[in-house]
Amino acid sequence: MSGKRRGWSDSAPLLAQQHSQQKSQHPYQPRSVSLEMTTSTVPATARSVFLGIDVGTGSARAGLFDENGKLLGSSSSPIQIWKDGDCVEQSSTDIWHAISAAVKAACSLAEVSKEEVKVAVDAEGSPVTVSWSGDSRRNIIVWMDHRAVEQAERINSRNSTVLQYCGGALSPEMQPPKLLWVKENLPDSWSMVFRWMDLSDWLSYRATGDDTRSLCTTVCKWTYLGHAHMHQNNEKDSRDMEACGWDDDFWEEIGLSDLVDGHHAKIGRSVAFPGHPLGSGLTSTAAKELGLVAGIPVGTSLIDAHAGGVGVMESVPLSDSEPKESDKEALCRRMVLVCGTSTCHMAISQNKLFIPGVWGPYWSAMVPEHWLTEGGQSATGALLDYMVENHVASPHLANRAASQRISLFELLNKILETMMLDLKRPFLASLTEDMHVLPDFHGNRSPIADPKAKGMLCGLTLDTSEKQLALQYLATVQGIAYGTRHIVEHCNAHGHEIDTILACGGLVKNALFIQEHADIIGCPIILPRESEPVLLGAAILGAVAARKYCSLHEAMKALNAAGQVIHPSKDPKVKKYHDAKYRIFRELYEQQLSHRSIMAEALE
């Protein structure tokens, strides 16, 4: 009989739960909150099979991996999303159904029987709305939701010491501002909630009935101080996961003192490293819903971007591997880009580095006993979709792409190649010399940390052709890459020594996107061998929970593998060109600040 391991990851939504009015093995119900998570499970059998589950913004995905980290099969199932202005919501019930469908389909495609898999998720309860609509299905506030900008500003104005560990200021994408918004705007929902959870932690709870939270979610999104947790627990039994890292003064200062009650029962009484085995594994209820076997080991979760980091950070070519004595130093020179709807920039260090405008330092939030630095761009894949879909030439171009059985972006890349040849340009990037994009259409997450920042597009004409759309698309790709260069340079200026980029996510399938990033950042970009590294990172948690490996890092080294390496152009003209455009990129935001000041003065 073969064994399976499983893990979870998601895009960090916030979820709320209330007491169930029906008899249930679970004491509380799901509510709308934004969550992120990865969970995993493993059985003791002849073959080791790992199952990873990733809940993204638009779908739930499941993937099965062998002992070498090779993908055996994967499947996805769409999830519903409601968008209304700055409010973005989802349903935990819908997400669980999507997970169940994806797991069953992945097992079928990989020809894996349920006895071979060891993974679990389980829970029952009634959702509580976090929506103005009052729709009880909408019990999740998605990570990209920006309804709590004003609450974030008020929290940041208090200069609490916990803010040191999130770049100096909370983002409206984090949980405290969202929680404060619910309390101030939906008091009935607030009074009904029995537990507030990250989606990833809820999924682990749903699978096992164990309410132990992850250091990843609590530290990165909830202001939990992981280093304080370790300091206070280091003399205790290793199984003691008492949540010692909450700063009660912070919650009281911002008006959420009720979250401290009952030894932090609503936000987490116990916190553990990612991959820590939960409860007795997968419950019988969850096993039945997922088509798996009860008792499979399930580990504490990771946020999806952090799962991507675990799934690729050791994916370096064998020829480039450093001797073991320098492993830690080499690991700390790498940055992982997880590129999807948004992009997260993950780097670790052995010492804590305080970097203004960049999230962290987070203790053990991704790789145990290392400090995590987390940069990010709130809109990347979403921005490219927006720029293309809102152009008048888009429908006709989409029809052409469909007739050629290629993606719209592949067709745009071909158009740009043809334009470069027809116009006798020295290199493709030079097509945008008159067009510049500031990609902050959903605010700036890093390193400026300005949620009020706006996008800018310079160089428009009356041209509505497909070629003009291709230029706007290329300029947007470049603007996103300049944003990443800004983050890398900012991190290096504050103590990091990043010289290698590893990238994963849907956008890395776009060759132009990756090449522009390599040319603009000036670093080689390594892609993983496997196409689903976030799922692999989640599955690694299962391997750790099943005691297949003694540590998360050991599992990463065993299961990560490198694929293609994209090197920056050696043409000095390309570097000179991008240096000039990067200078304009930086000036665009300064101009925006000036414009903002002028208008504020006019409206006084």
pLDDT of 488 strictly over 90: yes
pLDDT of 3 strictly over 70: no
Q: Is the model more confident about 125 or about 81?
A: 81
Q: What is the DSSP letter of 91?
A: -
Q: Is 528 helix (H, G, I), strand (E, B) or coil?
A: strand
- Interval 336-394: pLDDT, tens: 999 999 999 999 999 999 999 999 999 999 998 999 999 999 999 999 999 999 999 99
DSSP-derived secondary structure for 315-377: ---GGGPPPGGGHHHHHTTEEEEEESSSEEEEEEESS----TTSEEEEETSSSTTSEEEEEEE
| Average pLDDT of the residues in 67-75 | 92
Q: What is the DSSP letter of 545?
A: H
At residue 124, the pLDDT reads 32
* The domain made up of 3-290 is a member of CATH 3.40.50.150: no
- Please tell me the distance from the alpha carbon of residue 335 to that of residue 314, in angstroms, as a whole number: 11
Region for 300 from its dihedrals, namely left if φ exceeds 0, alpha if ψ lies in -120 to 50, beta otherwise: beta
The token pair that represents 208 in the structure block: 């096992």
At residue 256, the pLDDT reads 97
pLDDT of 31 strictly over 90: no
Q: Where are the alpha helices (DSSP H) in 446-562?
A: 466-493, 511-521, 533-545, 552-559
- Please tell me the distance from the alpha carbon of residue 237 to that of residue 362, in angstroms, as a whole number: 23
- Please tell me the distance from the alpha carbon of residue 402 to that of residue 424, in angstroms, as a whole number: 29
pLDDT of 34 strictly over 50: no
Does the N-terminal peptide bond of residue 361 adopt cis geometry, omega within 30 degrees of 0? yes
Q: What is the pTM of this model?
A: 0.86
At residue 49, the pLDDT reads 83
At residue 225, the pLDDT reads 94
Specify the length of the chain in residues: 604
At residue 48, the pLDDT reads 76
At residue 240, the pLDDT reads 54
- For all residues of the chain together, what is the average pLDDT? 88
Q: How confident is the model at residue 510 (pLDDT cuts 50, 70, 90)?
A: very high
- Please tell me the distance from the alpha carbon of residue 365 to that of residue 441, in angstroms, as a whole number: 28
- Interval 539-560: pLDDT, tens: 999 889 888 899 999 999 999 9
At residue 7, the pLDDT reads 55
Does the N-terminal peptide bond of residue 447 adopt cis geometry, omega within 30 degrees of 0? yes
Q: How many Å separate Cα 595 from the centre of its chain?
A: 32
- Interval 563-583: pLDDT, tens: 999 999 999 999 999 999 999
pLDDT of 20 strictly over 60: no
Say if residues 7 and 299 touch (Cβ distance below 8 Å).
yes
Instruction: Say which CATH architecture domain 381-486 belongs to.
Output: Up-down Bundle (1.20)
| Average pLDDT of the residues in 76-80 | 95
Other C-beta atoms closer than 10 Å to the C-beta of 467 total 16
pLDDT of 9 strictly over 90: no
| Average pLDDT of the residues in 80-96 | 93
At residue 441, the pLDDT reads 97
Q: How confident is the model at residue 426 (pLDDT cuts 50, 70, 90)?
A: very high
At residue 314, the pLDDT reads 95
Q: How confident is the model at residue 407 (pLDDT cuts 50, 70, 90)?
A: very high
| Average pLDDT of the residues in 62-74 | 91
Q: How confident is the model at residue 125 (pLDDT cuts 50, 70, 90)?
A: very low
Strand ranges (E), 56-183: 59-65, 71-78, 82-84, 87-90, 140-141
Per-domain boundaries in the chain? 3-290, 381-486
- Please tell me the distance from the alpha carbon of residue 457 to that of residue 588, in angstroms, as a whole number: 9
